[in-house]
Amino acid sequence: MVHDPFKDSASGKTLSAPPSPSDYMKDSVFRSFAYLCALSIILLLAYIVFELGSQALPAIKEHGLGFITGTTWDTNQNEFGVLPEIWGTLYSSLLALLIGGGLGVAIAIFLTQGFMHAKIEVMFRTIIELLAAIPSVVYGLWGIYVLIPLIRPAAHWLHETFGWFPLFSTDLSGPGLAPAALVLAIMILPTVAAISADAFRRIPYKVKEAAYGMGATKWEVILKVMLPTASSGILAGLVLGFGRALGETMALAMLIGNVNDISVSLFAPANTLASLLASTFPEAGEIEIQALMYASLVLLLITFVVNVAGLAVQQYTMRKFEGKK
Amino acid sequence: MSQINEQILPPRINLPSLEKNVLELRALKDFFLTGLVWGLAILASIPLVSVIYMLIMEGGARLDFEAITALPPAGFETGGGFGNAIVGTLTMVGIASALSIPIGTMAALYLAILNPNSKTATVSRFLAKVLTGFPSILAGVFVYAVIVITTGTYSAWAGGVALAVLMLPTVTLAAEEAMKQVPQRMKDAAFGMGCTRTQVIFKVVLPTALPGIMTGVILAVAGAAGESAPLLFTALFSNYYMSELAEPTASLSILIYNFSGMPFENQIELAWTASLALVLLVLFFNIVARVVGRTKFKE
């Protein structure tokens, strides 16, 4: 019989029996199983890297680093290069970070610095959380039928009036960088807002009180005290939001146009690594799949570096405020 | 009495007015910036309102019994629905949950209780965080290489495993967070009674942390239900109800993706209806998670 202190105590028997050998056995089996599960996360990532690497190996051997600087993707001529995709990935994510990051930090301030009644605050927080819950593919659909028709007149006007300016050098003919970046901005906003809001909440209350005590106005406190103090946490939010944007797939595959051009124009169609995978993979032959595996390895590397950087900043922030509350 | 009062009166020096002047530049700046963040917060809510409005207006009309049971229409057909896609999505999310929840919870136990400061735990925790920012399409590519190439067919299995890869880190981190909330003195009390670590875990830690774990798990399930990128070339799509797990399987998100680009009115309408169904499913999980989370243990 298994020794169970709970049952024993209820029946009023002695509690002093030591665990039986079978208890020790079960305990150590259970703990080694838990250890294996924790190990499985490490093994999973290692296996992913290994598997993608070995699948991409023929392509890596054949194209080398020229894969990263090449600009054509042509299956018939066996020519593969992902520079336009890397450019599109970074450009669209940076644009999204500019819009979504700015909005996200503003919202974090709005949610944490006591601008409204607690109930309205909960409402806004729920809205931001739900923004993150909407599936990517639904944003894509919304982008096609709502956002693109909505921004097209504005894009047309900008092109007509400021066409000499490189950013507006082409007209928005349908899908393109601008709608893709806008949808991306909406999608990373909750990430940035949540991590930044957390950074604001970590600031000890006395910091704020001290600033108010010196006669600062609400916004002087926010801009001169709270923002600098939370800056590393906000930076972590921005970097992690950027990482999210880099890997986002479906909405981009539906909105960016999937054209392998390098253009600075906001309204030109472009392509990203993730949407290249989404749009090309299902119909690809063996050679092209090897090239796509190489492309996914590049994507993995970029997002890994960005995410590790973001997490490092975040952990630095957490340590900074530990024990100061 | 009055003499004393006179004595402690402040000396006459030139103090600036301490009263708030609404027209002072600082006050105006304050007023303007407050208006600005209110404006930005409302601006950020517009997409959600617009998405929900469009889903109800465009998709609401078709959301009937036919839509949730019938098979997807071909080319110029009218009518039709996405019954097989609902079944497919639920099946694959089920497979993903069955794989990732036990492993994730056990890993969380190790990270939170059994050996929180060991090297394995530190590395594992960090990589789990890295994996939450992992591009979801790479899970698809990975499972394609491991399962689809090996078995030679697209399948619900492959789709489920791809979703499980994405759910695992989320479940682990959420469960770890919930288990860390269990007060040390509750564990100490149980140890003091002579419990083994396993008994402490099953009788004290897990029951106490259960609402928190559930919240994390349900949110991970909601996220997986909405995923489409990892299913693109693992489960592919099918126009029929699934008869076994080892065949290409339909899912709501892939149906939306496929139909959104089609030149047929009927398909586009169905894409909206399927989006509404998918968002309702995801929101349902979110609301359940909130309700469960409200009973969360608080010290």
Domain ranges, ordered by start, for chain B: 86-294
Contact criterion met (CB < 8 Å) for B196 and A48: no
Average pLDDT on A131-150 reads 93
Task: Quote the CA–CA distance of A88 and B109 in Å, as a whole number.
Answer: 41
Name every chain A residue with its beta carbon within 8 A of the beta carbon of B130: 45, 304, 307-308, 311
pLDDT of A324 higher than 60: no
Tally DSSP H helices, then E strands, for chain B.
13, 0
What are the structure tokens assigned to A132, written together?
């993150």
Regarding whether A28 and A98 lie in a shared domain, the answer is no
Task: Quote the CA–CA distance of B87 and B83 in Å, as a whole number.
Answer: 6
pLDDT of A45 higher than 60: yes
The reply to whether B236 touches chain A by the CB within 8 Å rule is: yes
Task: Quote the CA–CA distance of B250 and A120 in Å, as a whole number.
Answer: 40
Q: What count of CB pairs under 8 Å joins A to B? A: 262
Instruction: Judge whether B153 and B269 are in contact, CB under 8 Å.
Output: no
Question: Cα–Cα distances in Å, from A201 out to A108, A195, A220?
Answer: 10, 10, 18
Contact criterion met (CB < 8 Å) for B137 and A144: no
Provide the pLDDT confidence category of residue B1 given band limits of 50, 70 and 90.
very low
Q: What does the pLDDT read at residue B13?
A: 66
Q: Which of A134, A256, A279 best probes binding to B when mutated, by most B CB atoms within 10 angstroms?
A: A134
Regarding whether A195 and A123 lie in a shared domain, the answer is yes
- What are the residues facing A80 on neighbouring strands? A73
Provide the pLDDT confidence category of residue A17 given band limits of 50, 70 and 90.
low
Q: Token match 């290994």: residue?
A: A50
Q: What does the pLDDT read at residue A301?
A: 94
Name every chain B residue with its beta carbon within 8 A of the beta carbon of A124: 41, 45
Question: Cα–Cα distances in Å, from A122 out to A100, A117, A126?
Answer: 21, 9, 6
Give the tens place of pLDDT for each residue, A81-119: 899 999 999 999 999 999 999 999 999 999 998 888 888
**Number of domains comprising chain A:** 2
Nearest to A254 by CA among B192, B131, B229, B77: B229
Contact criterion met (CB < 8 Å) for A5 and B127: no
- What are the residues facing A257 on neighbouring strands? A270
Final residue in a domain of this structure, among A46, A63, A80: A63
Among the partner-chain residues A47, A103, A292, the one whose CB lies closest to the CB of B44 is A103
Q: What is the ipTM score, two decimals? A: 0.88
Regarding whether A134 and A42 lie in a shared domain, the answer is no
Instruction: Judge whether B104 and B132 are in contact, CB under 8 Å.
Output: no
Higher pLDDT pick, B9 / B122 = B122
Task: Quote the CA–CA distance of B9 and A315 in Å, as a whole number.
Answer: 53
Name every chain B residue with its beta carbon within 8 A of the beta carbon of A34: 106-107, 109-110, 114
Question: Cα–Cα distances in Å, from B145 out to A47, A53, A282, B151?
Answer: 11, 11, 13, 10
Q: What angle is formed at CA A41 by the lines to CA B281 and CA B298, rounded to 5 degrees?
A: 60
Q: B 254-293 residues with CB below 8 A of A?
A: 256-257, 260-261, 268, 271-272, 275, 278-279, 282-283, 286
Q: B86-294: which CATH number, 3.40.50.620, 1.10.3720.10, 3.20.20.10, 3.30.1360.120?
A: 1.10.3720.10
Name every chain A residue with its beta carbon within 8 A of the beta carbon of B114: 31, 34-35
Residue type present at position B169? P
Regarding whether A107 and A21 lie in a shared domain, the answer is no
Final residue in a domain of this structure, among A13, A32, A63: A63
Contact criterion met (CB < 8 Å) for B145 and A307: no
User: Comparing A9-23, A26-40, B44-58, B107-121, which segment has the lowest mean pLDDT?
Assistant: A9-23
Task: Quote the CA–CA distance of A73 and A67 in Å, as a whole number.
Answer: 10
Q: Token match 């080694």: residue?
A: A32
Regarding whether A125 and A24 lie in a shared domain, the answer is no
Contact criterion met (CB < 8 Å) for B103 and A37: yes
Final residue in a domain of this structure, among A38, A63, A88: A63
Q: Residue A94: CA atoms inside 13 Å, Cβ hemisphere, count?
A: 8
Q: What does the pLDDT read at residue A108?
A: 94
| Residue A48 lies in domain | 5-63
Regarding whether A257 and A190 lie in a shared domain, the answer is yes
Instruction: Judge whether B251 and B231 are in contact, CB under 8 Å.
Output: yes
Q: Torsions phi, psi of A257, nearest 5?
A: 100, -20
Name every chain B residue with its beta carbon within 8 A of the beta carbon of A51: 142, 145-146
Q: Token match 């880190």: residue?
A: B169
Give the tens place of pLDDT for each residue, B228-258: 999 998 998 988 898 888 899 999 999 999 9
pLDDT of A303 higher than 60: yes
Regarding whether A193 and A109 lie in a shared domain, the answer is yes
Contact criterion met (CB < 8 Å) for B130 and A296: no
Q: What does the pLDDT read at residue A4?
A: 62
Length of chain A measured in residues: 325
Regarding whether A40 and A21 lie in a shared domain, the answer is yes
Q: Torsions phi, psi of B7, nearest 5?
A: -65, -40
Q: What is the largest CA-CA distance in chain A?
A: 90
**Which residues, including other chains, have CB under 8 Å from residue A33's CB and lie 6 or more apart?**
B106
Q: What does the pLDDT read at residue A5?
A: 57
Regarding whether A58 and A196 lie in a shared domain, the answer is no
Give the tens place of pLDDT for each residue, B185-225: 999 999 888 787 788 888 899 999 998 899 999 999 999 99
Name every chain B residue with its beta carbon within 8 A of the beta carbon of A293: 141, 145
**Which residues, including other chains, have CB under 8 Å from residue A168's CB and lie 6 or more apart?**
A155, A158, A159, A162, A265, A266, A267
Name every chain B residue with its beta carbon within 8 A of the beta carbon of A277: 137, 140-141
Q: What does the pLDDT read at residue A12?
A: 53
Residue type present at position A52? L
Average pLDDT on B143-169 reads 93
Please state, as a whole number, how many other Cβ atoms lie within 10 Å of the Cβ of residue B296.
14
Length of chain B measured in residues: 299
